[in-house]
Amino acid sequence: MNKYQEYLLSQCKDQEGTFLFSNCAPVGQACKDDTYGSYHAETGCFLIKQDPDITKTVYELVISKSKCPFIESVQVRKNNDFTEIPLSEVSVTPSEVLPHKEKAANARFIITTDFGNRIEAIKLKFIKNIADDLEIRLAYQEADRQAYERRQEALRKENTLRRAAIKHSVGESLVNIYFQPCADGYDNTEISLFIPDKIEVIEVGGRYGPVKQENVLSWSLIVKATVENGIFFKSIPGLAYGRYAYIVKQFDKDNHLLIETKYIEFQIKPQQPTVVEQGNVVVI
């Protein structure tokens, strides 16, 4: 880019971090910063950055005619062939009918490129040849596919756990564990109940000074039960006072694991007596 071309592009109005583009974002989105694109002077390339959502592959780069009035035409290069981009005179709301002056104010060159079918470069032609034509190469930065797949898997697990709606209630010497099928192919549920095996005692800060806290380092299995389809709770009686945890697993008919929870803790404690007021007499 020579000094004349550089000067002209520096005159683009209201550009904030997107070089000469008033918008650079996935189709249907708007972005006026460098989230999805930035110009690198050292390489002479405009870098298009893919959204973390790898399914977003089509991006629009918009050049506003009103903000860059010195640009006469725009061409794009793909497979070494140049194609001219038409100047679109559209309103913000396409259904609106605007006077010509207002439509002209919204005139834009809209460049569409796809990560799967990439434009290689953009060529700018300046009015009255006040500067040489400028070709800007495009580079592409793909999103991290593995990170996307990890996020999708975490989201899937979160949704299936939410659908399973696992909860429990405790009585004097029992726990009731409730659940729902986590998926359409659900067949059965396995519930494993544990008691602490190894415990460490540490001191942590409390409201009135250090207090002792017990952390469970490992658990011992005491009950494992399978609940067939059609029954959506499990009652485990005969429990002494103390600390417990359970894990819920759900399977399909082919015994493929659908979900597995982490340890879900609860405690069995002495139940508080019920207090009933009868007039001025309190019956316990």
pLDDT of residue 32: 82
Beta bridge partners of 246: 193, 264
Question: For 52-66, 115-129, 172-186, 206-220, which range has the lowest pLDDT when averaged over its residues?
Answer: 206-220
**What's the whole-number mean pLDDT along residues 253-281?**
81
> Are residue 125 and residue 181 in the same domain, yes or no?
no
Does position 144 have pLDDT exceeding 60, yes or no? Answer: yes
φ/ψ (deg, to 5) at 95? -75, -15
> Are residue 122 and residue 177 in the same domain, yes or no?
no
Does position 205 have pLDDT exceeding 80, yes or no? Answer: no
Name the domain count of the chain: 2
Confidence of residue 96 (pLDDT cuts 50, 70, 90): very low
Separation CA 119–CA 134 (nearest Å): 16
Separation CA 219–CA 190 (nearest Å): 17
Separation CA 47–CA 28 (nearest Å): 19
Domain interval for residue 213: 162-268
**What's the whole-number mean pLDDT along residues 168-185?**
95
pLDDT of residue 281: 43
> Are residue 169 and residue 62 in the same domain, yes or no?
no
Closest CA to 144 of 271, 232, 52: 52
**What's the whole-number mean pLDDT along residues 250-263?**
96
pLDDT of residue 100: 47
151's tokens? 């996020």
Separation CA 214–CA 199 (nearest Å): 6
> Are residue 71 and residue 185 in the same domain, yes or no?
no
Task: Report which of residues 147 and 204 the model is more confident about.
Answer: 147
pLDDT per position as a tens digit, 67-79: 889 999 999 999 8
